[in-house]
Amino acid sequence: MEMQKFKAITDRYDVIFFDAYGVLKNSLGVLDGIERTFAYLIEKNIDYYILTNDASRGPKALAQAYVEQGLEMIDDNKIISSGMLATEYLRLKVRTGTVTYLGTQKSAHYLEELGLHTLSIADLNLADTDAVNALVFLDDEGFDWNHDINKIVNLLRVRNIPCVVANTDKSYPVSDDKVSIAIGGIADMVERITGRMFIKFGKPDAQMFIFAYEHSQRAQEAGKQNILMVGDTLFTDIIGGNKFGIDTALVLTGNTLRSTVEEQIHLTGIVPDFICESAVID
Amino acid sequence: MEMQKFKAITDRYDVIFFDAYGVLKNSLGVLDGIERTFAYLIEKNIDYYILTNDASRGPKALAQAYVEQGLEMIDDNKIISSGMLATEYLRLKVRTGTVTYLGTQKSAHYLEELGLHTLSIADLNLADTDAVNALVFLDDEGFDWNHDINKIVNLLRVRNIPCVVANTDKSYPVSDDKVSIAIGGIADMVERITGRMFIKFGKPDAQMFIFAYEHSQRAQEAGKQNILMVGDTLFTDIIGGNKFGIDTALVLTGNTLRSTVEEQIHLTGIVPDFICESAVID
Amino acid sequence: MEMQKFKAITDRYDVIFFDAYGVLKNSLGVLDGIERTFAYLIEKNIDYYILTNDASRGPKALAQAYVEQGLEMIDDNKIISSGMLATEYLRLKVRTGTVTYLGTQKSAHYLEELGLHTLSIADLNLADTDAVNALVFLDDEGFDWNHDINKIVNLLRVRNIPCVVANTDKSYPVSDDKVSIAIGGIADMVERITGRMFIKFGKPDAQMFIFAYEHSQRAQEAGKQNILMVGDTLFTDIIGGNKFGIDTALVLTGNTLRSTVEEQIHLTGIVPDFICESAVID
Amino acid sequence: MEMQKFKAITDRYDVIFFDAYGVLKNSLGVLDGIERTFAYLIEKNIDYYILTNDASRGPKALAQAYVEQGLEMIDDNKIISSGMLATEYLRLKVRTGTVTYLGTQKSAHYLEELGLHTLSIADLNLADTDAVNALVFLDDEGFDWNHDINKIVNLLRVRNIPCVVANTDKSYPVSDDKVSIAIGGIADMVERITGRMFIKFGKPDAQMFIFAYEHSQRAQEAGKQNILMVGDTLFTDIIGGNKFGIDTALVLTGNTLRSTVEEQIHLTGIVPDFICESAVID
């Protein structure tokens, strides 16, 4: 496929959805010059949202991290995270009682705004679980893996409660050359071991795109033909956007390398509408 | 879990989504007395839709089959089929050219309303595939399995086109004691053999519930708290409804038997909000 | 990894196991010059066997096809096929009664030497299945896919009999640019649809290597350190040989291409001991 | 299926393979009266072996635990563990250098008899991995899950070395009502996250049965028809034994409950030759 200039394709759309990691930022922080992209979109009156598989913090804290790096045009209204979908599920289907979670206190903070009582898995007493109405996988930090993942497996033997995976990613980069296992990878292991079927949120699942779509319509009504998804990963951003019926652009600043992009598209059958070097506009 | 009377729970909702097979009908036709259920819903001003994994016919033909069996309150506006989502995908993402399909002519008829040219896989010439822009799995009849499924595998070796699965079910009942492999089972085999990632539509995927939800809002605005999904299958109807954030009722007139329902809920961790003997109101 | 001359590495071994397709032959027939390889091995007193995922014919017929192409040093004693393992299973565990099969009459011929009565799935009457003690997937030809694969699914609803997959390959080449779905791909679909667990034979499963190993020991006692597996496919020949504890050589005359071999080894973590252009000795 | 007395069926066999957990012992120790079973087998000159998915200790230490509970007829010659197969793999295919492992020092002790240098993952320095020639998953204890499982994922990004799973079980009981995640469950997670293909040992894989079979032949030549596998789990002991071509007996003192045994056999299609209440002989 021919490479396109990102700027040249933006003009066709009213709304652009961006993946975060590998598109707007990498392990060193936001990409050099990415502020020019947002300035251009604002100038052209093209709306934008960040769709991110992340439940480590609420949207306010996620937006704040961009602002601190100079992207003051990103506020919490521009953030669509998989954690927000998990929260919406708990609001609609669990409603009351205690939710036990894997993650940091910071990741659970956002849930408490719903009026749910949250309890870290580290503090759960397996002999006293009657009040626990749901389990949520939020973040890979904030608990002892050995002790607390085993605690979950045993919790599910005595309580048949909904298990919500607030981020389906299996790993994430922590530096230029290292990755960490993400909470989605841990949830996947527990699901296989227990045989239970978990409720999962995150790209490429359609629910993430719908949530963003409905959210975006409040600011500006746009048909699906006028929305573009920009991502660095065929298996989440591109197939998810394609299936939802919007156009997709693959950028080569993250998971997909220029040297193997053609072969990957050929092997997987996941074809973006466009391929661009980067989402940074010169 | 305690068994509930279906009538007793309907009053809490503004809109009810019904699965078709195992809930409204079985291999002998529509369930005796199911017309009383719809009469009651109409009397109580509760809206209703049928959500069905089916791409063998368009919504008009699906509705007509209910009318012919005495359910004149089912028109095409009440039908939400996985085939409609596949059609919507083709409209948004393929737009022009030829779509080759597995299925009967009847199943493809509905696609032609989009202005797409359709071509049965049986009539495809592998030496002349340049105009083919998509492949759609519609129905398990209308083609020679041995010859034409192999033809697809070879088509995908020369053309990297979107492959759309318009019904993800793996099998369906054809009589009281026999089943047939459904097109979703065939598509699954081809996906594994080719290694490609297909675009799939049908419960439990969220996109089916969204489509129904948006459709239902045209008639009557209803919050998700006021919608009930009624199904006979934990793995499609119930987990899909739960994840979408609406209430769910499991009925025991189809795939799930009274003798094993408690164990199945325990083993899978998929818990409906209600269990009812049947959706038929006395 | 560095490329090796095949001749140079053979001298270290007492016995060599060869995969068939992609190593000794391709869609045009046996590779030009492959007879020189066998002549050299005989000269050096190195024993050799062909390990093939194939149940379309018995070992005599498989050997005969090599002889007809000029490889008169291949007799049935040199053939180890997945079909032979399936036959051994039937001999040990089924013993009597009728075995119904998917495949040609030719593929079933070999089973009858056991004294089992064989019945093509095409001739099975679903209303009269009491004498059927096993189902065997032998070959993708000889039956009507649409009618007879559905017949199997319904057979397994009424009879809980062992289902034996005599070749786990999912596809095979039929010409320079076309493939066919193999019986292993069909069996895989039926297994998923019925939820049953089938008994499967073929590389990379250890049982195939054991069978070859025990067979080879009759001619010449050789430690595992003195046996080499030569194959064209990382996922069957190489990982199977590695796990069995013998050395492995990957050749580039079949499934694995020179341009992507390094990346495939890196992505899969399946590392052969040697890589050679071809098993043909100049 | 009809229930059989265990004693009544033993007489037909020359050799009996026993699973350990759920057959000979449970979380409280060896089953009351199981010593009578072994006394009877010795009296009748029927040989016996314990086939166990366990790599937490070498065969001597595993046997010692039985002796300490009064089963002095179990010595290390009667133990066939998945850890022994992993060790055999390392001896044949790795041979030299350092093997890094997940597990306790006790679990690695057995490997050192091969002359390999072993290094706990806890002590591995990611900046100095050149001498590491293999990774082995031995036991779920002896390392920090959070820190060290992530270390493995990053090790595999820089070194393409064989990864050996010495026990494929996903969980194991630690008390009457609690389980722990086993090393096989952790290995499964790492395999999915890295995309690499690991070398795995343990029932139901044929290699375990072959190892036991060859081992048993040293004491007494027995055809497969004269060997019985006794286990409590359809998915490991029974399907593994069936596929290997030996007879199988399911006992109801472990994973499989009397109340659901018929349904499980029906759903899975895994049919033992016999079902017995227990392997304890009155």
Residue A271, phi-psi category: left (phi > 0), alpha (psi -120 to 50), beta (remainder): beta
Start-end of CATH 3.40.50.1000 domains in chain C: 3-53+206-276, 83-200
Q: Do C10 and C16 form a contact (C-beta atoms < 8 A)?
A: yes
Across the interface, whether the CB atoms of B170 and C192 are under 8 A apart is answered yes
Q: Supply angle C-alpha B204, B208, B213, rounded to 5.
A: 120
Chain A residues closer than 8 Å to D177 by CB? 157
Which of C93, C206, C271 is opposite residue D205, by nearest beta carbon? C206
Give yes or no for A92 touching B (CB within 8 A). yes
Q: What dotted CATH number matches C3-53+206-276?
A: 3.40.50.1000
Q: Supply angle C-alpha A15, A18, A22, rounded to 5.
A: 160
Across the interface, whether the CB atoms of D245 and C270 are under 8 A apart is answered no
The whole-angstrom separation of Cα A6 and Cα D148 is: 41
The whole-angstrom separation of Cα C61 and Cα C67 is: 10
If you measure CA to CA, which chain A residue comes closest to B196? Answer: A268
Across the interface, whether the CB atoms of D192 and A179 are under 8 A apart is answered no
The whole-angstrom separation of Cα A255 and Cα A240 is: 16
What is the token pair recorded at C85? 């393992």
Which of B163, B205, B269 is opposite residue A160, by nearest beta carbon? B269
User: Distance of CA B220 to CAs B213, B215, B223, Å?
Assistant: 10, 9, 10
Which of C140, C150, C178 is opposite residue B154, by nearest beta carbon? C178
Condensed to tens digits (0 to 9), the pLDDT of residues A222-273 reads 899 999 999 999 999 999 999 999 999 999 999 999 998 999 999 999 999 9
Probe site for chain B from A1, A13, A89, A93 (most B CB atoms < 10 A): A93
Across the interface, whether the CB atoms of D146 and A150 are under 8 A apart is answered no
User: Distance of CA A125 to CAs A81, A98, A121, B266, C202, Å?
Assistant: 30, 13, 8, 22, 49
Chain A residues closer than 8 Å to D145 by CB? 144-146, 149
The whole-angstrom separation of Cα B153 and Cα B148 is: 9
Give yes or no for B193 touching C (CB within 8 A). yes
What is the token pair recorded at B60? 């008009």
Peptide bond into B162 cis (omega under 30): no
What is the token pair recorded at C54? 């194939």
- The pLDDT assigned to D222 comes to 85
Other CB atoms within 10 Å distance of the CB of residue B112: 12
The whole-angstrom separation of Cα C119 and Cα C105 is: 9
CATH architecture of B83-200: 3-Layer(aba) Sandwich (3.40)
Other CB atoms within 10 Å distance of the CB of residue C1: 12
Nearest-Cα distance to chain A for D190, in Å, is 9
What is the token pair recorded at C166? 């005599």
Other CB atoms within 10 Å distance of the CB of residue A113: 10
Probe site for chain C from B137, B139, B150 (most C CB atoms < 10 A): B150
Across the interface, whether the CB atoms of B268 and A197 are under 8 A apart is answered yes
Condensed to tens digits (0 to 9), the pLDDT of residues C75-90 reads 999 999 999 999 999 9
The whole-angstrom separation of Cα C268 and Cα C261 is: 11
Whether B113 shows a pLDDT value over 90: the answer reads no
Across the interface, whether the CB atoms of B269 and A196 are under 8 A apart is answered yes
Give yes or no for C115 touching D (CB within 8 A). no
Report which of B38, B47, B46, B80 is spatially closest to residue B63, judged by C-alpha positions: B80
Instruction: Mark which residues 123-152 of B lie under 8 Å from C by CB.
Output: 140, 144-146, 149-150
The whole-angstrom separation of Cα D268 and Cα D266 is: 6
Burial class (CB in 10 A: 0-12, 13-18, 19+), A165: buried
Report which of B127, B65, B59, B133 is spatially closest to residue B95, judged by C-alpha positions: B133
Give yes or no for C193 touching B (CB within 8 A). yes
Across the interface, whether the CB atoms of A269 and B197 are under 8 A apart is answered yes
- B219 vs B108: which has the higher pLDDT: B108
Domain A3-53+223-276 top-level CATH class: alpha beta
Residue A152 phi, psi dihedral angles, 5° rounding? -60, -50
CATH 3.30.110.40 at D3-53+204-276, yes or no: no
Report which of D215, D163, D238, D206 is spatially closest to residue C209, judged by C-alpha positions: D206
Give yes or no for B267 touching C (CB within 8 A). no
Query: What is the dihedral angle through the alpha carbons of A77, A78, A80, A85, rounded to the nearest 10 degrees?
Result: 10
Q: Which residue type is seen at C97? A: G
Which of B162, B239, B246 is opposite residue A197, by nearest beta carbon? B239
The whole-angstrom separation of Cα D212 and Cα D231 is: 15
Helices D105-112 and D82-89 cross at an angle (nearest 10°) of 50
Q: Which residue type is seen at C64? A: Q
Helices B206-219 and B82-89 cross at an angle (nearest 10°) of 90
If you measure CA to CA, which chain D residue comes closest to A158? Answer: D177
Average pLDDT by stretches of 10, chain A with 282 residues: 94 97 95 97 97 96 96 97 97 94 94 90 96 97 97 96 97 92 98 97 97 92 94 97 98 94 94 98 91
Nearest-Cα distance to chain D for C180, in Å, is 26
Q: Which residues of chain D have pLDDT under 70?
A: none
- The pLDDT assigned to D220 comes to 82
Q: Do B207 and A244 form a contact (C-beta atoms < 8 A)?
A: yes
The whole-angstrom separation of Cα D2 and Cα D276 is: 9
Chain A residues closer than 8 Å to D185 by CB? 189, 192-193
Across the interface, whether the CB atoms of A160 and B194 are under 8 A apart is answered no
Condensed to tens digits (0 to 9), the pLDDT of residues B216-225 reads 998 888 899 9
Residue C75 phi, psi dihedral angles, 5° rounding? -115, 175
Start-end of CATH 3.40.50.1000 domains in chain D: 3-53+204-276, 83-200
Give yes or no for A196 touching D (CB within 8 A). no
pLDDT tens for chain C, 282 residues long, are 899 999 999 999 999 999 999 999 999 999 999 999 999 999 999 999 999 999 999 999 999 999 999 999 999 999 999 999 999 999 999 988 999 999 999 999 888 888 899 999 999 999 999 999 999 999 999 999 999 999 999 999 999 999 999 999 999 999 988 999 999 999 999 999 999 999 999 999 999 999 999 999 988 888 999 999 999 999 999 999 999 999 999 999 999 999 989 999 999 999 999 999 999 998
Across the interface, whether the CB atoms of A242 and B162 are under 8 A apart is answered yes
